[in-house]
Structure 1
């Protein structure tokens, strides 16, 4: 079998370069064609070697991964997978990298020099394979705001004390690879008075979803937060399922409550879009708007079938053109249950037209 995916490894640690190279070279389809010690060297080697995928460390001397990534995406657009630490600063840098155009990221298990990197060996291989298929047009699609230049918003939050407690609409969004940038595009286009709660499952490890929520909250008119067990959902608020937890919604009296648990992963995912959709499908007298965006695999398709069977569900899928990875939307579309297939920038307006239904 031909080793057709050509990879460049960029890390300032010789140990890490060797370890990642050995992992990837074990796969029959992957060929590590070179390594680089810092961002400057990486840019030169990308121009010379034209790899299909680059794994890029964040913390490096001379030119770090974030600086290099901005140059790479401007001068020689290439599919990049970031390696980052699980610290708060590492998480914030990860979302900057994704906003600059990285396909995805891998969290190092134990800091910059992770001697136990073998714990994420399979993840490294799978994410490089996935990145090789990523849609460059989707990656280069600019979000509607350059978040690196935005000041923290100074406008007031939606007044949750006046929210309609008896909810009659619910927006549910599922996404994976390419999701953080896609969520930024969608959520920043919601007005602060959106008359529904927004439930979000983004495939992401524990430790990153809170930083994602805080980042999006600083950019959006609506309130964005990491979901908490037992809280009442409110209009004008988006709830992101915490990494490592499934998120469900149940009704109690006139309220809808969020329930989090750590039951077994579904299809390898926790949180699972399917499980969130399945729980929402059990709610009565609610218009459900289900959205599936960029991501690998088929998570959400089974749940979408349950939602449609329950009635009162509008299904929206992101188009192939704008998806970084057209897996989850494609699987949903194949069911013939999707009502609207739209480009990423049209998803928020499409949702909003159903708010007056």
Structure 2
């Protein structure tokens, strides 16, 4: 049976365009549309869709307010459409903070090289988040929960429940860096994890999130305002320091360059290696981290589509690094972690909720 989709946008042309594309997919069926946030809430309650596509800027009620209200009354997976501007990025992150799971640019030519590829990507992303079945967390209106785990961006760092320390396989280990790669669902997962890391965390952290360039700058600033550690968007030539998280800039590649006793970031605008499909690429950054730190690394692959990160983990693993993946139940999309796990590279397969406490125990 096809997933039921509600399309929300104040533009008649855009609603029709999205509906036509989605209806071509046998696994998707557009069952209705809405022209503003207020009508979207009514249609969600009336039609019970499996997934909603939502514009940000609309009359009467904007998309962010609509997402927040839907999460309170009848949670459903929501994909946002956004402009690729700093303001658009900020608004989209606000929508994800309210409970939306994913986003795409409104200009389809910004996400693919041709029309067919853009249409396939849209359908793929809608199908992926439609498979998540949300429910309200008791006593926490607006929280978005998938399979018992938080999948929303949280306004406040979540409380860490006391639990016995858990060691990764192999016992104690010497570390020099933490590396994290993610894609769809990653903004929520990264905020959930990074806000729990204490301010005295004495390692550099390298973050690779599949995201447009205008979004990574806004996302880094948001994380920095919420976290005890420092979070910045990586810059070319920047000196790597302990206690700082470096977010790879969208649309570029971030690698490490070590000379003498100093390690610096290199941000590359382009490359000619067909192995790396994404900008930024988890594989490319992880392989660079392996060249600099060898096996003294804890690498994590979190929620996301595809297999980016698998080959980078393979190189790290051969050098003795430890590899953790997010489990299927707490992922928005169990693609990237599954690829690493199926390749036999994962030392830990654990929930998002448990990652922070395990990380602190492992690297303290």
Q: TM-score range by the shorter chain?
A: 0.7 to 0.9
Question: Which runs of structure 2 are paired with 1:200-211 in the superposition (5 Å)?
Answer: 200-211=207-218
SS in 1 for 2:333: coil
Query: Is the deviation greater in 342-351 or in 70-79?
Result: 342-351
Q: Secondary structure at the match of 1:78?
A: coil
The aligned residue for residue 306 of structure 1 is 315
SS at the partner of 1:82?
Answer: strand
Confirm or deny: 8 A CA contact 1:245 1:271 kept in the other structure: yes
Change (3 A) 1:239 1:184: same
- The residue correspondences of 1:1-357 to structure 2 (distance < 5 A) are 4-109=2-107, 120-134=118-132, 136=134, 137-138=145-146, 141-142=149-150, 146-147=154-155, 169-261=176-268, 262-264=270-272, 266=275, 268-284=277-293, 287-311=296-320, 313-356=321-364
Pick closer, same or farther for the CA change 1:215–1:117 going to 2, 3 Å: farther
| 1:304 to partner: Cα distance | 0.7
CA change 1:41–1:139 in 2 (3 A) is farther
Q: Displacement of 1:93 after TM fit?
A: 1.2
**Aligned partners of 2:276 and 2:283 also within 8 Å:** no
Unmatched 5+ stretches in structure 2 = 109-113, 135-144, 158-173
Judge conservation of contact 2:177–2:293 (CA < 8 Å) in 1.
no
Moved more, 277-286 or 255-264: 277-286
Structure 1 unpaired stretches of 5+: 111-115, 151-166
Distance of aligned partners of 1:259 and 1:135 in 2 relative to their CA distance in 1, 3 Å threshold: farther
Q: Distance in 1 between matches of 2:100 and 2:152?
A: 17
* Distance verdict in 2 for CA 1:124–1:145, change over 3 Å: closer
* Aligned counterparts of 1:68 and 1:184: Cα–Cα separation in 2: 22
Q: Return the alpha-carbon distance in structure 2 between the equivalents of residues 294 and 207 of structure 1.
A: 21
The answer on whether the counterparts of 1:103 and 1:139 sit within 8 Å (CA) in structure 2 is no
TM-score normalised by structure 2 residue count: 0.84
Q: Does the residue aligned with 2:61 lie in a helix, a strand or coil?
A: coil
Distance (whole Å) between structure 1 residues aligned to residue 16 and residue 148 of structure 2: 30
Following superposition, the deviation at residue 341 of structure 1 comes to 1.8
The whole-number CA distance in structure 1 between the counterparts of 2:115 and 2:214 is 18
Pair 34,256 (structure 1): closer, same or farther in 2 beyond 3 Å:
same
**In structure 2, the residue corresponding to 1:290 is in which secondary structure?**
strand
Equivalent position of 2:165 in the other structure: none
What TM-score do the two structures reach when normalised by structure 1?
Answer: 0.86
Q: Provide closer, same or farther for how the CA distance between residues 285 and 334 of structure 1 changes in structure 2, counting only shifts above 3 A.
A: closer
Once residues 267 and 27 of structure 1 are traced to their aligned partners in structure 2, the CA distance between those partners, rounded to angstroms, is 28
Q: SS of the residue aligned with 1:306?
A: helix
1:16, 1:246 → 2: CA distance? 32
Whether the 8 Å CA contact 1:12–1:36 is kept in 2: the answer is yes
Distance in structure 2 (CA, Å) of the matches to 1:234 and 1:300: 23
- In the TM superposition, residue 58 of structure 1 has moved relative to its aligned partner by 0.9
Contact 1:139 1:324 in 2 (8 A): no
Q: CA RMSD in A?
A: 2.5
Q: CA deviation at 1:144?
A: 9.7
